[in-house]
Structure formats: structure tokens, C-alpha cells
Amino acid sequence: MNYHLVCIVQIICLTVVDASSPYTQNHKHYNNQYHPTGLVSSKCDSIAGDCVDDSDTMISRRILAESGYISYEALDRDRVPCNVRGNSYYNCNTNERANPYTRGCTKITHCARNNH
């Protein structure tokens, strides 16, 4: 009987501790003063993201990263990052090709690659 009473008290204590834990709160809404752990951050110790001011874009990025899925708008067929054929998405405005072919001439190809 004493063993059952101890188990019930432990379960109640664990439930109270778990309910008051900051990790059980909803972390989808961020405030400029709070981190995802729910604790106030007042120091900058050079960990990635701690020294950066939380702007609206940073908060939006964190919320998007937490969602776990890509929206249908991002997968839309008509939204092309770079509409220039053969150019990289990263340097779309330049006239350089994304992956230029730079292999040398071999006996097998008879230098056919250089004729283009």
C-alpha cells in the first residue's frame, strides 16, 4: 500500500513540473525578447544568432523553419527564380553560364567538345 502511495505522489509531482516547464509552451509565436526556449536572452556569447537583432525577417524565418513543410506558393510552376536558360539561380543577372564545361580534349572525343 505504501508503494502505491509513493508512486501516485511521484506521478503528481512529475505532472506539475512538466506543466510548468517552458518547453511545453507553444513556441510558434516569437517575441523580440525571447528565444525558442522561452527564456529571456540578455547576453551575446558568439553563438550563431545570439548577437543578431531579432527583426521581423528573422522571426518569420524561424517560424517558417519550424513549420516543416513547403507552401504551395513556393512550388508554383510559374515562379522561376532565374528565368534565363542556362544561368545559375545565384548569379541570374550575369551572362556567365551556371556550369561551363571545361574538360580537356581526349582521344575518345577527338576534341569534339571544343567545337561548340
DSSP alpha helices (H): ranges in 20-115?
56-67
pLDDT of amino acid 4: 82
In angstroms, what CA-CA distances link 74 with 27, 77, 92?
24, 9, 18
User: In this predicted structure, what is the pLDDT of residue 58?
Assistant: 66
* Predicted pLDDT of residue 32: 42
Predicted pLDDT at 13: 77
- Measure the N-to-C terminal CA separation of the chain; round to a whole number of Å: 89
**Residue 103 grid cell:** 574538360
Mean pLDDT for each 10-residue chunk of the chain (116 residues)?
82 72 48 47 55 61 65 69 67 64 69 55
